[in-house]
A = this chain, B = another copy of it.
Amino acid sequence: MEEGLIPYVSVDCVIFGFDFEKLNVLLIERKVDIEGTVFRDMKLPGDLIRYDEDIDASASRVLFELTGMKNIYLEQFYTFGSVNRIKEKTRDIIWLHSIDHPEERVITIAYYSLVKIESREISEAKIVNNASWHAITEITELAFDHREIIDKALEALRNKLRTQPIGFELLPVKFTIGQLQKLYEVIFGTRLDKRNFRKRIASIPYIVSLNEKQKGVAHKPAQLYKFDKKKYSRSKTEDLYFSV
Contacts and interface: CB of A to CB of B under 8 A. Distances in A.
Contacts of A216: none
A48 interface: yes
Interface of A: 1-2, 4-9, 48-56, 76, 78-79, 81-83, 100-102, 105, 107, 109, 159, 162-163, 237-238, 241, 243-244
A164 to B, nearest CB: 10
A95 to B, nearest CB: 13
Contacts of A8: 6
A32 to B, nearest CB: 18
Q: How many copies does the complex hold?
A: 2
B83 A54 contact: yes
B82 A79 contact: no
A111 to B, nearest CB: 10
9 contacts: A1-B101, A2-B48, A4-B51, A52-B83, A55-B79, A159-B163, A162-B241, A237-B243, A241-B243
Given A53-B83, A81-B55, A159-B159, A9 B107 contact: yes
Given A52-B83, A54-B81, A55-B79, 15 more contacts: A6-B7, A9-B81, A49-B81, A53-B83, A54-B82, A55-B82, A76-B79, A79-B79, A81-B109, A159-B159, A162-B162, A162-B241, A237-B243, A238-B243, A241-B243
Contact of A107 (B5, B55, B83, B238): B55
A203 to B, nearest CB: 14
Contacts of A53: 83
The 10 nearest A-B residue pairs measured at CB:
A55-B81, A5-B51, A79-B79, A54-B82, A79-B109, A6-B6, A241-B243, A4-B51, A54-B83, A1-B101
